[in-house]
């Protein structure tokens, strides 16, 4: 027969059951982990063709291709085929003929008889004045990953405050995702 005093001693030795996690912690955790998972998925999606297929990735820096491409979008470009001229309407990446040290992402507006391309940004009212030679082509756009390159775009545009705020926001999301669902408060014995 068990004495009442032994029951009390056994109760002290038994681990206490954890209480249910607070709903706000669960919601915060789910949202932050969903955001991080989505960002990781977009990053993998943006880098897979680069690694596996030898494509080129670029971050859109200006709004000249709005609404098709926005600043901060990552565009994946397939290397151009040298035996084929890009068709009118395709988006291409090329060395900018007016600024050779920079790249230009515009849509093919017209193909000249000698194979040179006249391009135009979707948001621009007129086509580009200087044609692009076929050898200046770097790629033909195949895939757009929206917004994932925004921190890079802000940094390159020399806007460090918004870029820093985005990085701080990412750090907060990481911290929220890492929080445990249960608080780590000490369980108190009902007998003390």
Tens of pLDDT, residue by residue over 51-73, are 899 999 999 999 999 999 999 99
Tokens of 172: 């907060």
| Whether residue 27 has pLDDT greater than 70 | yes
DSSP3 helix / strand / coil % (the chain, rounded to 5): 35, 20, 45
Angle at 102 between CA 51 and CA 82, to 5 degrees: 55
- % of the chain exceeding 70 in pLDDT: 85
**pLDDT of the residue at 146:** 93
Mean pLDDT value across the chain: 87
Name, in order, each residue with C-beta under 8 angstroms of 53's C-beta and a sequence gap of 6 or more: 78
In the structure, what pLDDT confidence band is assigned to residue 38 with cuts at 50, 70 and 90? very high
Residue 22's pLDDT is 85
Residues in the chain: 192
* Distances in whole angstroms, Cα of residue 135 to Cα of each of 42, 77, 81, 97, 117: 31, 15, 11, 11, 11
pLDDT of residue 136: 96
Which of 150, 139, 57 lies closest to 106 in space, CA to CA?
A: 139
Q: Which of 11-15, 101-105, 116-120 has the lowest mean pLDDT?
A: 11-15
Q: What is the pLDDT of residue 5?
A: 59
pLDDT tens profile 131-164: 999 999 999 999 999 999 998 898 888 888 888 8
What is the per-residue pLDDT for 156?
87
Rounded mean pLDDT of 10-32? Answer: 76
pLDDT reported for residue 3: 54
Look at residue 169 in the predicted model and tell me its pLDDT.
92
pTM (2 decimals)? 0.74
Give the contacts of 132 (CB within 8 A, at least 6 positions apart): 92, 94, 95, 97, 104, 116, 117, 118, 119
Could you tell me how far CA 70 lies from the centroid of its own chain? 13
pLDDT at position 188 is 52
Cis-peptide into 192, omega within 30 deg: no
């Amino acid at each position: 027969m068990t004495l009442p005093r032994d029951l009390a001693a056994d109760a002290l030795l038994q681990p206490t059951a954890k209480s249910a996690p607070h709903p706000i912690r669960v919601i915060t955790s789910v949202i932050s982990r969903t955001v991080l998972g989505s960002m990781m998925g977009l990053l993998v999606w943006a880098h897979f063709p680069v690694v596996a297929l030898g494509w080129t990735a670029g971050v859109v820096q200006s709004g000249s291709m709005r609404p098709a491409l926005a600043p901060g979008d990552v565009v994946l470009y397939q290397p151009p085929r040298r035996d084929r001229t890009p068709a009118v309407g395709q988006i291409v990446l090329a060395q900018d003929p007016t600024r050779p040290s920079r790249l230009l992402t515009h849509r093919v507006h017209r193909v000249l008889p000698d194979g040179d391309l006249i391009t135009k940004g979707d948001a621009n009212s007129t086509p580009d004045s200087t044609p692009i030679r076929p050898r200046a082509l770097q790629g033909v756009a195949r895939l757009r990953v929206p917004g994932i390159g925004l921190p890079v775009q802000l940094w390159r545009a020399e806007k460090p405050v918004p870029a820093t705020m985005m990085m701080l926001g990412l750090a907060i999301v990481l911290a929220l995702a890492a929080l445990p669902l249960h608080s780590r408060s000490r369980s108190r014995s009902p007998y003390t």
